[in-house]
Amino acid sequence: MITYDKLYIGGSWTAPSNPELRDIDSPHDRSVIGRAAQAAPRDVDRAVAAARTAFDEGPWPHTSPAERIAVIRRLDALREERAAEIAALISAENGSAGWFTRAGQPGLSRQAAAFLKAAEGFGWEETLEASDPQAPFRSVVRREPVGVIAAVIPWNSPFSAALAKLIPALLAGNAVVLKTSPENSLSMGLLAELLDAPGLPQGVVSVLPADRETSEYLVSHPDVDKIAFTGSTRAGRRIGSIAGEQLKRVSLELGGKSAAVILEDADLATVIQGLTYASLLNNGESCIAQTRVLAPRARYEEVVTALKEMIESLKVGDPSEEDTFIGPMIRPDQQQRVRDYIELGIKEGARLVTGGPQIPPGLEGGNYVTPTLFADVDNSMRIAQEEIFGPVLVVIAYDDEDDAVRIANDSEYGLSGGVWSADQEHALAVARRVRTGTVTVNGAPIGFDGPFGGFKASGIGREYGAVGLSQYVEHKTITL
């Protein structure tokens, strides 16, 4: 059993203000797999004070970009050395299938590489000549760190979410208080161990697993300069209101209900193979999952039948087993939430093609749900409009291409989506019409050099690459 009985505050392992440890339960069988200290407001005060001092008085904001890049390179190398351990630990505490957590490790390397490339070419300081050649002045434009960052992340993909904020914030010279979900206390404890090694000055980083109340205390703290949040749209609205009241900088990566637009000429075998991952990755507990499948009426039943066969072929079970594709939901309440949505879909009149609210046989001791497919779904139904965050897909028929785009855009969300076609240029033309932050064509992976984030209720701001790095700087103009 893994135990973290201290909190990582400002670069030191420190006794928590509340000595009671939280049990970390396995989603697979609900056994206790670890215990960890949890942060309370007094711990937040200590972490923010350490960050404030490190930023206002310490060397970190004044180091050169090259020095900060070297630290992040060392951090990424340390993470790579423990990649297998990280993957196994996330599977144990999250219930994420091993194939997913293992596949995510090279993705973390690509994410870091994109940020490092962006930092090397970033215009940290530039000189602008006056547009009028007769004007007797020039301007020096500097990109400087924002200050103390409150980075708040969800439980579903903890390392990816944490590093998407930590790396650019640190590259820019900020100090960071990372608030993690209690469910991830073990993997985020391991992250804190990594952060202890690459040469960060005291106070620059704290890692605090804590509940929602403590999270709100952190983002409301007067010494926090910027909030970087990933999580639900409901929580994002609350955080946005706090940021607005206090005029804090804020970036929000929120929920999604992404559409997979299958065009009439699409190769169905390619579509189904791609949607296996694009729709059901991480047990469906993914904000970018393409869970609204839009199919042309002429091929509707063909698509439904192929999806049914695919879903029924996937093994549901112990996430540590090699052939498991879908593991358990993270908590019993999340399990019940997904099952309630399945019941709702039946009541709304959708056709239950496969799955249902029953727990898979033999897995009653864990947080499992049966992967479910609904057909004859109208886009106005709640199962088509609300983020379920589980392995539940809906298939919606469309009449023509304009109708498909209209349905895809008929959502409060706009985070991700996909277009599937035998003609890539045609797919690109359709993708340009979909109002969402990221669109993939024929299952292409989301890259880390381009910006990632949401339209509409899916968020504010962007992550990844140079645009993601720019979210953690202020622009200063000095006129000479």
Of the listed 253, 285, 387, 463, which one is catalytic? 253
Beta strands 205-209 and 351-356, pairing class: unpaired
Residue corresponding to tokens 């339209």: 455
CA–CA gap between residue 38 and residue 20 (Å, rounded): 8
Burial group, residue 168, by CB count within 10 angstroms (0-12, 13-18, 19+): buried
- Dihedral pair phi/psi, residue 211, rounded to 5°: -80, 180
Which value, to the nearest 10 degrees, does the dihedral of the CA atoms of residues 215, 216, 219, 221 take?
Answer: -110
CA–CA gap between residue 252 and residue 227 (Å, rounded): 8
- Dihedral pair phi/psi, residue 13, rounded to 5°: -80, 120
CA–CA gap between residue 429 and residue 419 (Å, rounded): 10
Residue 145 tokens, joined: 């760190």
Residue 361: count of CB within 10 angstroms of its CB: 8
SS3 34: strand
- Dihedral pair phi/psi, residue 422, rounded to 5°: -75, -15
Write the single-letter amino acid at 335.
Q
Burial group, residue 222, by CB count within 10 angstroms (0-12, 13-18, 19+): exposed
* Catalytic (active site) residue 312: no
Residue 403 tokens, joined: 């109708």
Helices (H), 220-299: 233-246, 268-278
* Catalytic (active site) residue 287: yes
Helix (H), strand (E) at residue 440: strand 440-441
Of the listed 93, 287, 387, 463, which one is catalytic? 287
Q: Catalytic residue numbers?
A: 253, 287
